[in-house]
């Protein structure tokens, strides 16, 4: 009923959002002599703010068409490498007319970025992708909104997520380097562990950023909610069926609008101040700051539904049973043994001020991957970075990316062939 009520409210408010958009444009029309007067500017700003608060936000585009490589503009074409019911594997193919640049990009290492399936679309990693494209061939997992997947496609569990990651790695090939951001650090580690246990070729390296490998360490508000509520509470209070106006009608999901409410509730003052500053920037005519606000919230407010099975599995296995670190996790009956990984280098990254994945949660991967030589295992804490600063923005580009780039470059041939030993801090 909650999902149906939300859809009814959205349908009712849609005309008002469109009216507010039209009114904002009318009062801001430069051909109208009064458009630059303070009172009219405030009116226009008020209507635009109303429009943005009431409108529905659709999935943004990556919109990466060029990137600079060694001072040359390289064209980017977004391609679908694999199309699965719950995920598309995208490739950002690079093209250049400059022979030297073309030769350079052909020899670049290949990276699979596993984007989080935790509410926002993969486009949240746009800055990550754009930066990585300077020195890498890049693939990314583009997760599908569960409300758009017909029920005939069946359920999607955490085990299915792990299987998808394995399939993508096999498709790209063993020379790939895998980067997981936030939530997928756990299923990615499971996927590579299972491949190692089965004596399959494993990726050259894995870079794990801001994820809950061991959610017991420095628990955040996100962790505490998952730990302090029962599995049954989550199943009863956040899982609903998709309404009949979507292809996935009847599918059990954790709705995106509920997730968005939770995101905002974590920092309500910050969002209120951001919207008020946006209003003031419109009144003052500060278009650069206003555009930055639009870009951020166009992404932040675009959310997707999560399959119920996957979400509930994550709550139980990652945040309540700590199955990975306890050694009790089995995927389709096969035990997950990170200690079996020997031929994949490991880099973990955390943000000093991360309020979603606490200090030590991602670094805990080193204690599990005891088969990786210490020389091929490293950790970096990004100074002054919150959760999003790990993979986007100035700190990502200036502090984190150079380390990631150099780590991948140093492991293009895999790990050092010396006896494994436990890493120490």
Q: What is the pTM of this model?
A: 0.91
Separation in Å, CA 206 to CA 211, 324, 404? 13, 17, 10
Whether 395 is covered by a domain: the verdict is: yes
Whether 161 is covered by a domain: the verdict is: yes
The pairs formed by 294-299 with CB atoms below 8 angstroms and a separation of 24 or more are 294/52, 297/52, 297/57, 298/57, 298/60, 299/60, 299/120, 299/121, 299/123, 299/124, 299/126
Structurally, how many domains does the chain consist of?
Answer: 2
Residues in the chain where the model's pLDDT stays below 70: 33-35, 416-425
Residues 22 and 164 in one domain: no
Residues 281 and 196 in one domain: no
Tokens 């990170």 — which residue? 338
Tell how strand 306-307 and strand 66-69 pair up: unpaired
Whether 100 is covered by a domain: the verdict is: yes
Determine the pLDDT at residue 260. Answer: 84
pLDDT in tens, 46-71: 999 999 998 888 899 999 999 999 88
Residues 296 and 315 in one domain: no
Residues 134 and 161 in one domain: yes
Tell how strand 240-241 and strand 377-382 pair up: unpaired
Residues 276 and 130 in one domain: no
User: Does residue 306 contact residue 118 with C-beta atoms inside 8 Å?
Assistant: yes
Give the Cα separation of 296 and 114 in Å (integer). 21
The pairs formed by 376-379 with CB atoms below 8 angstroms and a separation of 24 or more are 376/205, 376/345, 376/346, 376/411, 376/415, 376/416, 377/345, 377/346, 377/347, 377/423, 378/346, 378/347, 378/348, 378/407, 379/347, 379/348, 379/349, 379/350, 379/425
Residues 144 and 286 in one domain: no
Whether 422 is covered by a domain: the verdict is: no
Whether 247 is covered by a domain: the verdict is: no
Determine the pLDDT at residue 365. Answer: 98
Residues 121 and 226 in one domain: yes
Chain centroid to CA 175: how far?
Answer: 23
Residue ending a domain, choose from 247, 279, 300: 300
Give the Cα separation of 224 and 319 in Å (integer). 9
End-to-end Cα separation, the chain, in angstroms: 51
Residues 176 and 283 in one domain: no
- For residue 356, what is the DSSP state? S
pLDDT in tens, 117-170: 988 999 999 999 999 999 999 999 999 999 999 999 999 999 999 999 999 999
Residues 6+ apart with CB under 8 A from 3: 240, 241, 242, 243, 255
The CATH number for 168's domain is: 3.40.50.1820
Residues 13 and 153 in one domain: no
Residues 143 and 265 in one domain: no
Whether 207 is covered by a domain: the verdict is: yes
Determine the pLDDT at residue 422. Answer: 40
Give residue 203's domain range: 66-234+307-409
Residues 34 and 167 in one domain: no
Tokens 């640049």 — which residue? 101
Whether 356 is covered by a domain: the verdict is: yes
Q: What's the burial of 163, exposed, middle or buried (CB within 10 Å: 0-12/13-18/19+)?
A: middle
Residues 320 and 387 in one domain: yes
């Amino acid at each position: 009923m909650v999902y149906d009520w939300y859809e009814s409210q959205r349908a009712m408010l849609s005309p008002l959002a469109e009216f507010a958009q039209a009114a904002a444009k009318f009062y801001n029309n430069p051909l109208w002599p009064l458009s630059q007067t303070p009172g009219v500017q405030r009116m226009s700003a008020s209507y635009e703010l109303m429009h943005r608060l009431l409108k529905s936000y659709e999935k943004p585009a990556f919109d990466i068409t060029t990137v600079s490589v060694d001072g040359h503009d390289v064209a980017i074409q977004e391609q679908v490498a694999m199309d699965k019911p719950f995920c598309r594997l995208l490739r950002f193919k690079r093209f250049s007319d400059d022979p030297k640049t073309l030769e350079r990009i052909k020899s670049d290492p290949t990276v699979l970025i596993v984007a989080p399936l935790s509410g926002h679309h993969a486009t949240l990693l746009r800055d990550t992708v754009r930066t990585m494209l300077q020195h890498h061939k890049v693939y990314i997992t583009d997760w599908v909104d569960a409300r758009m997947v017909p029920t005939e496609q069946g359920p999607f569990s955490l085990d299915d997520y792990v299987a998808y990651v394995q399939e993508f790695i096999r498709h790209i090939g063993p020379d790939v380097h895998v980067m997981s951001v936030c939530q997928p650090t756990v299923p990615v580690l499971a996927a590579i562990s299972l491949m190692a246990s089965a004596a399959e070729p494993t990726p050259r390296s894995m870079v794990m950023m801001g994820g809950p490998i061991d959610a017991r360490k420095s628990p955040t508000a996100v962790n505490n909610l998952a730990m302090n509520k029962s599995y049954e509470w989550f199943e009863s209070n956040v899982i609903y069926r998709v309404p009949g106006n979507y292809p996935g009608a009847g599918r059990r999901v954790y709705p995106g609008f509920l997730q968005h409410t939770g995101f905002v509730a974590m920092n309500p003052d910050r969002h209120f101040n951001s919207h008020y500053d946006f209003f003031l920037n419109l009144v003052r005519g500060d278009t650069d700051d206003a555009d930055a606000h639009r870009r951020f919230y166009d992404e932040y407010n675009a959310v997707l539904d999560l399959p119920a099975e996957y979400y509930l599995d994550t709550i139980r296995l990652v945040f309540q049973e700590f199955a990975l670190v306890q050694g009790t996790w089995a995927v389709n009956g096969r035990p997950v043994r990170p200690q079996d990984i020997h031929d994949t280098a490991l880099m973990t990254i955390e943000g000093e001020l991360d309020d979603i994945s606490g200090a030590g949660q991602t670094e805990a991967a080193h204690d599990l991957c005891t088969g990786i030589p210490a020389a091929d295992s490293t950790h970096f804490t990004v100074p002054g970075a919150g959760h999003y600063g790990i993979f986007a923005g100035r700190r990502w580009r200036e502090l984190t990316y150079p380390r990631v780039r150099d780590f991948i470059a140093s492991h293009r041939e895999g790990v050092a062939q010396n006896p494994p030993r436990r890493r120490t801090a």
